[in-house]
Copies of this chain bind each other. A is one copy, B any other.
Amino acid sequence: MRSQFCGLVDETLIGQTVTLCGWVNKARVQSHQVFFDLRDHEGIVQILVESDQPELFEIASSLGQEDCLRVTGKVRERHSINDKIRTGRVEVLAEKIDVMNRAINLPFHSHETPGEDVRLKYRYLDLRRPEMQRMMRTRIKLVQALRAWLDARGFQDIETPILTKATPEGARDFLVPARMHAGEFYALPQSPQLFKQILMMAGFDRYYQIARCFRDEALRADRQLEFTQLDMEFAWVDEAEVQDTVEGMIRHVFREVMQVELADPFPRMSYDEAMRRYGSDKPDLRIDLELIDIAEHVRSVEFKVFAEWANHAEGRVVALRAPDAATWSRKQIDELAAHAAKYGAKGLAWLKLEDRSKGREGVNSPIAKFFDDATLNAILDACGAQNGDLLLFGAGPYKQVCDFMGAVRLKLGKDLGRIEHSWRPLWVTDFPMFEWDEEAGRYVALHHPFTAPAVDDIADLKANARIAVSRGYDMVLNGNEIGGGSIRIHRPDMQSAVFDLLGISREEADAKFGFLLEALSHGAPPHGGIAFGIDRIAALMAGTDSIRDVIPFPKTTTAQCLMTGAPSPLDPEQLKEVHIRTLEA
């Protein structure tokens, strides 16, 4: 139907007749001429209609935005040159215009960005905007580059089921009533975890899948009911091989899609070090601020909250230096404290170092009075504080201090403009195997119950569960966990021992994971893998904070598709067929 894409018409075509298809971007009707831009996914080109062609002129004069046209005409040089676009030196003198479809009652115009609800309801209009086309096409390129790399290396792209078994571990499952089995349900997979492990036991050696996963959780800005991960698994590997392989893949896709060269190799950092230096297991290395432990200096100060936690076996007291922020107002500091409070802080002590040569006089802080001179100096030295700096302090249980001071660090990085323009990947390793769940009175798995512990000895694991380290690893990029994986348990006795430590009874384990235990006992090879969040990586590459910008038809935070109107009520007869009914309101 067309000879060219609109956005690719340039000087090389001058004098030629072209046929273009697209949408009217903007029309300007003058007394003897109509100009309009015709748009497709490659860009726009200016079309000109002269009044000496009365029939054509009448059609052109009637055109509105988003009318869908086919235009045939001759390419010619243009008077007013626009060097910002490829087609800016030419225009097309129209000879024929077919109006394929009119756009009537438009809710908004393509150059506008209305509220997100309107954008989602009329998603096709939203997606026509060049910015949305660019972001979606970034995602498409990412996936294409990943597949090309994987296919070239013998990874097998294998589909696993969407209708599978409910596993009431982890997040909440989406349920699907079974018509042929009254009272029974399928569940949508939270990930293909067990299937990919089974594939390794089935001899597929190297697996990948761009897999849809489902979690029925409250939606945050960066979560969707369904999301996409690059799921991978390798047989006969250790963590070094998985990490080396997939970081090569990530370097490849950043080179292909972004023309960016990432570090080679990625730095490795233990979970303990990441928490200690950055208060986070997904540290944003673009920010050069670090937490500084000062417990040793404040064990005997009069400021109770410091002294108490400095002497507590599971406490932490840290300082964070905010360079050149001594000029911050009380209001700015209060805002920072409010931010910290969201992450569990009870308060946020601060100190402004105005002029160290003045001693105490040069220090402005509500808590300085609790410190003797030696302590004050020790703290300032530990922080490397310079005149003009603001210091912020956190004290409390170790994990809580990490959480809120890590959050303070990120906000400071942003507020102080100290986020480097770069891509800073790293591996975080040596995660704890278990976390103690106070409420449930039992251990929970930090990764998942199939992650191998670093020790091979079951007695050792049981004796030292609280400090056991797993063979899990996360890939972190600019403060985002973009991938997570582990070497898996491949011995049935170890898997049973871990279920046991997690408080899963033998009966429960058999009922839920019997097929896994059986498979492990039928000659399972050592194996491990990883999963990458495609939506998140695409959003990072596209330069947007919202994964909804890289998902063509996302759900709202209230779990609705505004375009189609899903979910929707159904006829009770339809429910009866699958043997359920709704509860009364």
Contact = CB atoms under 8 A, between A and B. Distances in A.
A237 B238 CA distance: 51
A493 to B, nearest CB: 10
Given A214-B163, A569-B184, A1 B195 contact: no
B178 A567 contact: yes
A566 B238 contact: no
A165 B523 contact: no
A96 to B, nearest CB: 15
Interface residues of A, number: 123
Contact of A147 (B147, B555, B570): B147
Interface string A568-585: 111100111111111101
Contacts of A102: 521, 523
A204 B123 CA distance: 12
A82 interface: no
A163 B123 contact: no
Contact of A181 (B136, B188, B559): B559
B568 A184 contact: yes
A157 interface: yes
A570 B185 CA distance: 7
Nearest to A168: B574
Nearest to A194: B564
B178 A522 contact: no
A119 to B, nearest CB: 12
The quantity of this chain's copies bound in the complex is 2
B564 A165 contact: yes
A93 interface: no
A552 interface: yes
A195 B554 CA distance: 12
A184 B565 CA distance: 11
Nearest to A159: B228
A144 interface: yes
Interface in A462-507: 490-491
A542 B16 CA distance: 50
Given A124-B201, A162-B162, A226-B161, A176 B174 contact: yes
Interface stretch (A125-133, A275-283, A370-378, A438-446): A125-133
A166 interface: yes
B202 A124 contact: yes
Interface string A327-339: 0000000000000
Interface stretch (A103-111, A381-389, A405-413): A103-111
Contacts of A40: 203, 205
A70 B175 CA distance: 42
A519 interface: yes
Contact of A179 (B172, B555, B583): B172
A140 interface: yes
Nearest to A585: B182
Interface in A148-172: 148, 151, 156-166, 168, 172
Contacts of A578: 175, 216
A1 to B, nearest CB: 4
Given A122-B519, A124-B198, A580-B583, 18 more contacts: A21-B235, A101-B490, A136-B158, A137-B156, A140-B157, A159-B228, A159-B551, A160-B552, A163-B566, A165-B566, A166-B566, A183-B569, A184-B568, A184-B569, A195-B552, A198-B563, A514-B565, A579-B582
Interface of A: 1-2, 21, 23, 39-41, 66-68, 70, 100-106, 122-128, 133, 136-137, 140, 143-144, 147-148, 151, 156-166, 168, 172, 174-188, 194-195, 198-199, 201-205, 212, 214, 216, 225-226, 228, 235-238, 241, 490-491, 514-515, 518-526, 551-553, 555, 558-561, 563-571, 574-583, 585
29 contacts: A1-B236, A21-B236, A39-B203, A41-B205, A68-B525, A101-B520, A103-B521, A122-B519, A127-B202, A128-B203, A133-B203, A136-B156, A144-B151, A159-B551, A161-B561, A162-B214, A163-B225, A163-B567, A165-B567, A172-B577, A176-B567, A177-B582, A184-B569, A185-B569, A198-B563, A202-B552, A216-B578, A515-B564, A579-B582
Q: 6 nearest interchain CB pairs?
A: A127-B202, A103-B523, A165-B566, A178-B567, A184-B567, A124-B202
